[in-house]
Structure 1
Amino acid sequence: MVYLLDRMKRASAGPNGVTFLAPDGGERVGWAVLHDDARRVAAGLQERGVRPGRPVVLLASTSRATVTAAMAAWFAGASVTLAPTPARTVDLARYLADSRERFDALGDPLVLVGAPWEQAIAALSGGGGIVASLAEVVDAQPSAPWRPPTLSPEDPAILQLTSGTTGAPKIARISHGNLAANIEGIRVATGHEAVHGRMLSWLPLSHDMGLIGGLILPLACGRCDTLLSSPADYLARPASWMQQISHHRATTTVGPGSAYAVAARLLRTGPRLDLSCLAYALCGGEPIDPAAVDDFLAAAGEHGFHPEAFMPAYGLAEATVAVTFSDLGRGARYDHVDADALAAGIARPNDPLEQTGPEDPTAGGRTRTRRLVLLGEPIAGLSIRVVDPDTDVELPARTVGEVQVRGTSVASYHDQSPDSAPPADPDGWLATGDLGYLTDAELVVCGRHKDVIILGGRNIYPEDVERAAARAPGARAGNIVAFAAPRPGPPAGEGLAVAVETHGDDHETLRQAVADEVRAALGVTPHPVIVLPPGSLPKTPSGKLQRAQVRRRFAS
């Protein structure tokens, strides 16, 4: 029996399970009950023609039915895809058309549609595969018992859609062997046996961090509870994340940096909580802003959170999920470098005491300092290196280049994907598309290669621009996007644009304030500064800003 099926069987012998959180309190279900339900549903899936390797897609909110169906698909030998659900800013008709295209790329999937999107079944039908009601499949009583499938570590466990809710399908084929290796690496890196307890996650199950970190990791352990909240409930009431941790005494949680920034703001004004229960709070999934970490640690510390429990990490779906973890119990640590040297591609260490301001280009001979988060070393089974993105030549320490990953967790691409070439080169190195450098074997990530804006020969990282713009009064932190835009001549070329959301009415004052902050921080002036009402910038269901969409919409 392969790893995941074996672990699901082991978990069923223990007393723990899943609590599906909801505004009305939710429902707790033991692993044993879920195991029995999943095997019954698996028998029904087998009657529907689900066999080893057949893709099963779930389009539904986080619920008992969704988790039961995912477990059932694995028991039937299928690969599982949790489809991204539509964000509130997405045109529903366009989303459904794009989704059908993605599902067709999987081959011959069985698509199970659940609450609250049952009315979309007709719109999703007519392409490849079969579309059915999730509730009907979960409630059905099969006529024959479940038959254990014959699987190998090379068979697919997850077909992970890696392009968010828009864009051409790009599907990471995560095998049972990849999954087992990555979970073992996470277990070692986090000292999992020492922190058995409760994982709380609101991340979408369509997100690799939500599916594997929030569900499969505690399921594979069997001695842990997991608490699952829906992304929709979190977005409706972001304060619920920390409140639920306190109430349910969660020992671990996970989220992107932007969510911790929101939590910091809410913790300052909310009721007194007890966050001392957290053994580690993982932060990953997007670039981590040191200032946002500072804010969270200060605010959460007032509620008993131990700063050493904060754990920055780096990962990507093509490597299953986890690539590097900072040391357990160390907390957030930073690398201080010369900002101008970094723009030229060299991470030269700099004394932070030499910095005269947040990012002051007129420092009278004293260099500006950039503070970047140290993301730790690779987990067991993985290696990382940094190469010149044009020549693929490995670069020395503290030289910025493209981050590459190799090892047991690196997936292939699904054969039906339009981009069907394997993601790794012949030597097994996966090009991540992220720019970063190594120092003392630890990884530092600066940004995405495709997002870097080159102005006057300098590399301008959009994350730096966004952090500077957030200091402008009236700008909504976490709702700002910097991107390259055509600059009118003479001379014509690439320029810097910033889109920023605000609740305020004085847009012209905000435009000027954003321009002033960015110029003070980076020595460049954005043009244009686009001011938008709240909710205008597109995001993924997990709350990540979609910079490419913003660029397509406004860079004209």
Structure 2
Amino acid sequence: MTVVSSPRPDHDPFADMTIPDALAAAARKSDRSHWYFPQIRAETTLIDMCEGGFRVARALRAAGVGPGDVVAVLAIPGTNIWQSMIGVMAAGAAATALALRPVRGDLDTEVAGYARIIEAAGIRHLIVEPDLADLGTALRARHPGLTCWTPRELDGGGTAGLPDVAPGSPAVIQFTSGSTGNPKGVVLTHAAVLAHAHGLATAAGIGPEDVLVQWVPHYHDMGLFAPLALTLAGADVHVHSPLSFVRDPAGYLTYLAEHRGTITSGPDFAYDLVIRTVDRMSAPVDLSAWRLAFNGAEPIREATIRRFADALAPWGVGPGVMYPCFGMAEATLAVTLRVPGRAPRVLHVDRDILADRRLAAPVDPASAAAKAVVALGSPLPGMSLRIMGPAGAAGPGELGEIQLRGPNLTTGYLNEPAATAALFDEGWLRTGDLGFVDDGELFIAGRAKEMIIVNGHNLFPQDVEEVARSVPGVHRRRCVAVAVHDAETEHILVAAECDDPQRAPAVERQIRAVVVDALGVGAGAIRVAMLEPGSIPRTTSGKWQRSLVRSRYATAAPA
């Protein structure tokens, strides 16, 4: 059986603490931890944010909020979101940060999306930013029992006492991104979140000298728990809005250089954007302080790793800065990390043998059958992972489902007992991801539910996408492959964005040809939907919404 474990740290500084207590202790320990919000020109210290959070907690307690409640927070990046989250947790309730669209759209559509979460989580209380008052009003009209406050209304505090909160009680309800279906509410306890924070800081060597320059939104696990871990370790945290990063990545890089940022995080597509931005900037800036670029939340491409190293070397960025990792909301955030400073490791395995025979067979990188897979490291301290195949435990180099154990795992999904029961296998959390272990490090091939089976041949959608995005004319290499069932036959649907509508028929033919040639499937098994730029739907965290792609474009694409 393939089981990889990392020992628990000898010392746990957060033992028997809640998240607000741990933050307050960190604030008292060091006055160096500052928070900066450049888009709203605001800054604060951790200790001021904690004090504000405890004022919110007393006001919430005076309003009857306490253990057993779930309080939603709807806010823009800034002190309000963090102060409100601390306050909710200190009051004994569980906090959930609602996703905020980067660009506001139709109010009814937005309200309907929030309503699904409010109903599923049984939310009766909402803290809403004044700038988003129209949303609060509309939600209250739809849910008459919903109580709404602005952060300012709760900042007065009061004299209400705070409850004794157990570390094992729910602290955060983190809604999954919903890339394959409806979002679920992941229940995370104080103990789980703090175990993750300590494990992350220990594995990545994070300390007071670090500076996080973050753009991932606070309603994503990477945008919530990475800053939390950094500030608990005494580091400074700079929080940009997601829209500012997407609209002005050059400005983000300049800010990173000016503030001597040491750590960033984001999905693979964000680093692809950085690479394209660097190519257009007239002169390099000094990024030599940058030591860790956490790369996770979506498949990591070898091309991104190679191009990142090449493009940023003149800017002082070393080959070990790119930091591939694996994580999921059900594990708070990170699951595996590599040794900091090591250059990324890539294996080339036979694509067909991996998918059909579930074996990671090494192959020449120049081979047409080569599939590049990136090492994602070993489990965080205190965690274990195992690989389980269809017939039981898998051996080294054998493909199977990745299952996890550790102190940072969820207790289950909120109000979904059936889904919670299905999540665990004899105490091991089933990730739904397929991977293998080589030399103690995890490699991921894809998700079990996303496997495409055509004429008895297994294909990972990422392999189809990697081939299709090589076709000239595919807008920013954006394409998604999913399985489509038609009667008793399964087809491959490739949804691709096209730079030029007039070239769409030619690009479609090329996509068909390269997929047939590279993957050995019949031309009749492929459908291609050519779309305008920006059409492929993403989740709030930037992942492709595969289930929505399937439902929208399966019938639109010609056979």
Q: TM over 0.5, yes or no?
A: yes
User: Which stretch shows the higher mean deviation, 288-297 or 48-57?
Assistant: 48-57
SS in 1 for 2:526: coil
Aligned pairs for 1:316-335 within 5 A: 316-335=328-347
Take 1:42 and 1:209, find their aligned partners in 2: how far apart are those partners? 25
Question: Partner amino acid for 1:2?
Answer: M
SS in 2 for 1:132: strand
Take 2:145 and 2:201, find their aligned partners in 1: how far apart are those partners? 37
Take 1:403 and 1:179, find their aligned partners in 2: how far apart are those partners? 21
Question: Partner amino acid for 1:50?
Answer: V
| Cα deviation digits, residues 504-545 of structure 1 (max 9, x gap) | 121111111222232333223463211111111111223221
Aligned pairs for 1:368-387 within 5 A: 368-387=369-388
Question: Partner amino acid for 2:272?
Answer: A
Is residue 2:172 matched to residue 1:158? Answer: yes
Question: Partner amino acid for 2:63?
Answer: R
| Cα deviation digits, residues 478-521 of structure 1 (max 9, x gap) | 52111112458xxx510111111122121111111222232333
SS in 2 for 1:352: coil
Question: Partner amino acid for 1:75?
Answer: A
Aligned pairs for 1:378-417 within 5 A: 378-388=379-389, 390=390, 393-417=392-416
Partner of 1:363: none
Q: Deviation of residue 330 (structure 1)?
A: 0.9
Aligned pairs for 1:411-450 within 5 A: 411-417=410-416, 419=418, 421-422=420-421, 424-425=423-424, 427-450=426-449
Aligned pairs for 1:504-515 within 5 A: 504-505=500-501, 506-515=503-512
Q: Deviation of residue 370 (structure 1)?
A: 1.5
Going from structure 1 to structure 2, the CA distance change for 1:176 and 1:95 (only over 3 Å counts) comes to same
Q: For the Cα contact (< 8 Å) 1:77–1:151, is it kept in 2?
A: yes
Q: Deviation of residue 11 (structure 1)?
A: 3.2
SS in 2 for 1:233: helix
Take 1:462 and 1:387, find their aligned partners in 2: how far apart are those partners? 21
SS in 2 for 1:402: strand
Take 1:323 and 1:150, find their aligned partners in 2: how far apart are those partners? 30
SS in 1 for 2:347: strand
The equivalent position to 1:501 in structure 2, one of 497, 517, 535, is 497
Q: Deviation of residue 305 (structure 1)?
A: 0.9
Q: For the Cα contact (< 8 Å) 2:473–2:500, is it kept in 1?
A: yes
Take 2:55 and 2:287, find their aligned partners in 1: how far apart are those partners? 39
Partner of 2:261: 250
The percentage of aligned residue pairs carrying the same residue is 30
Partner of 2:11: none
Take 1:418 and 1:484, find their aligned partners in 2: how far apart are those partners? 29
The equivalent position to 2:223 in structure 1, one of 194, 203, 210, is 210
Take 1:238 and 1:449, find their aligned partners in 2: how far apart are those partners? 34
Q: For the Cα contact (< 8 Å) 2:210–2:235, is it kept in 1?
A: yes
Question: Partner amino acid for 1:517?
Answer: V
Q: For the Cα contact (< 8 Å) 2:264–2:294, is it kept in 1?
A: yes
Q: For the Cα contact (< 8 Å) 1:400–1:435, is it kept in 2?
A: yes
Take 1:273 and 1:121, find their aligned partners in 2: how far apart are those partners? 43
Q: For the Cα contact (< 8 Å) 1:338–1:349, is it kept in 2?
A: yes
Question: Partner amino acid for 2:263?
Answer: T
Take 1:346 and 1:414, find their aligned partners in 2: how far apart are those partners? 30
Q: Deviation of residue 105 (structure 1)?
A: 2.1
Q: Deviation of residue 333 (structure 1)?
A: 0.5
Q: Which runs of 5+ in 2 are unaligned?
A: 1-15
Aligned pairs for 1:1-80 within 5 A: 2-13=17-28, 14-22=31-39, 26-80=41-95
Take 2:66 and 2:230, find their aligned partners in 1: how far apart are those partners? 26
Q: Which runs of 5+ in 1 are unaligned?
A: 361-367
Aligned pairs for 1:126-525 within 5 A: 126-127=142-143, 130-138=146-154, 140-142=155-157, 144-145=158-159, 147-164=161-178, 167-193=181-207, 196-213=209-226, 215-221=227-233, 223-271=234-282, 272-352=284-364, 355-356=366-367, 360=368, 368-388=369-389, 390=390, 393-417=392-416, 419=418, 421-422=420-421, 424-425=423-424, 427-486=426-485, 493-505=489-501, 506-524=503-521, 525=523
Take 1:305 and 1:251, find their aligned partners in 2: how far apart are those partners? 11
SS in 2 for 1:177: helix
Q: Deviation of residue 387 (structure 1)?
A: 1.2
Take 1:400 and 1:184, find their aligned partners in 2: how far apart are those partners? 30
Alignment RMSD (CA, Å): 2.3
User: Which stretch shows the higher mean deviation, 101-110 or 82-91?
Assistant: 82-91
**Aligned residue-pair number:** 533
Q: Deviation of residue 409 (structure 1)?
A: 1.4
User: Which stretch shows the higher mean deviation, 105-114 or 306-315?
Assistant: 105-114
SS in 2 for 1:12: helix
Alignment TM-score, normalising by the size of structure 1 = 0.90
Q: For the Cα contact (< 8 Å) 1:89–1:538, is it kept in 2?
A: no
Q: Deviation of residue 302 (structure 1)?
A: 2.5
Take 2:296 and 2:451, find their aligned partners in 1: how far apart are those partners? 20
Going from structure 1 to structure 2, the CA distance change for 1:116 and 1:398 (only over 3 Å counts) comes to farther
SS in 2 for 1:34: helix
User: Which stretch shows the higher mean deviation, 472-481 or 170-179?
Assistant: 472-481
Q: For the Cα contact (< 8 Å) 1:335–1:349, is it kept in 2?
A: no
Partner of 1:123: 138
Q: For the Cα contact (< 8 Å) 2:265–2:295, is it kept in 1?
A: yes
SS in 2 for 1:50: coil
Alignment TM-score, normalising by the size of structure 2 = 0.90
Which protein has greater RCO, CA pairs closer than 8 Å, 6+ apart?
2
Question: Partner amino acid for 1:300?
Answer: L
SS in 1 for 2:298: coil
